Structure 1
């Protein structure tokens, strides 16, 4: 069993079915990506894993524990962290204040974790007194990652982290994501830029209409003729 696993997930919004026995998983120290066309159910998978949407069947397990019935807050307390696509920083707060807000649920000293974030993303230390609104897109995403890390999670869930950014910033963000993975965390990412995401992924899941159309390593999926034709433009 994988460290975080959503198995045979079925979910709907009202009477509209979205997920049809969809399965995703990620191990510690691994980057897994979920790709597919618009409306495939990618973000819905994230919502189910986080407990923001109840699955009608299937299960979610974390470190061999079934968390399917737990609240979002309890899942975060057990080690899940989430970086949404938008509104993922407090623009009127400084970098350091954003990190401090990320640790608000902790009762212990968070200063060591803040230092660990600065070690992972040195530019944030240099800009720690700057307002987040004054940062570049890539730097704001680093703040969002760092804030999520303040709860000392074992899994980071990312919803389209490169949406709306330039190719240069996209490369920077992907590099940051690899840094997070290399720090030993499990990273599961929904991403529209399928080619680039699969290039850096340890494993990938291609969803179509809420179903697993293809599953494999990033390299296997990029080299799969059908995946390339349908989803990667050749």
Structure 2
């Protein structure tokens, strides 16, 4: 069996010198797949994602990208390796225009970025329309599009999204999920933490249910949705 494109393998760790939050937790995603991390509040979902991105100490276990051990790399170095990360909050520069935000996303690149910007505008047409507007003036859903677009400007091989639909309307959530599917179809791996577990699992190739920093259930999105215990415990029946 070949290893997944990105894997946080049996990760144990926490923040700084604090207690372990993750306990032998494994999260993985293949090329062009959507993997979703769900679970109750305080389950360690965002912590698992941050561990994969290098934002906390992994005391045991390892993170590997395309077969390379990147456990010791800083988040900045992981971006250079092809990982894009969109935090849940404070993920745009509000005083800058939409286009300036996208340009900031391409900070590590030395080549022509105009083609990538065009791809972002095709994915999110509203951003083209509002490209000269301050990002802080946009709706919540549009801000999320800017944040995702900015991460895509680095031309990542993996896009990590922390609660991308938090605080947006159901219509906007459906639209964002549609765009995320489109991104995955281009061959980019998507790793996503999501409160809207049922909707997220519907689009997931792979799902991870975490409880208290441990893997409780793992399977395809379809299998987890069909699992009576998962439905009863985490999806409201």
TM-score, normalised relative to structure 1: 0.97
Q: Which residue pairs with 1:161 in the alignment? A: 164
Distance 2:182 2:32 in 1: 10
User: Where do residues 211-230 of structure 1 align in structure 2 (5 Å cutoff)?
Assistant: 211-230=214-233
For 1:43, what is the secondary structure of its paired residue? helix
User: Where do residues 75-114 of structure 1 align in structure 2 (5 Å cutoff)?
Assistant: 75-114=78-117
Query: Which is further off, 123-132 or 50-59?
Result: 123-132
RMSD: 1.1
Distance 1:27 1:194 in 2: 20
Q: Which residue pairs with 1:10 in the alignment? A: 12
Distance 1:45 1:85 in 2: 14
Q: For residue 222 of structure 1, report the CA deviation from its aligned partner.
A: 0.4
| Runs of 4+ residues over 6 Å off in structure 1 | none
Q: Which residue pairs with 2:140 in the alignment? A: 137
Whether the 8 Å contact between 2:209 and 2:216 is mirrored in structure 1 is yes
Whether the 8 Å contact between 1:156 and 1:185 is mirrored in structure 2 is yes
Q: Which residue pairs with 2:185 in the alignment? A: 182
> Could you list the runs of 5+ residues in structure 2 that have no partner in the other structure?
none
TM-score, normalised relative to structure 2: 0.95
Q: Which residue pairs with 1:61 in the alignment? A: 64
Whether the 8 Å contact between 1:103 and 1:147 is mirrored in structure 2 is yes
How many residues are aligned here? 234
Distance 2:161 2:122 in 1: 21
> Could you list the runs of 5+ residues in structure 1 that have no partner in the other structure?
none
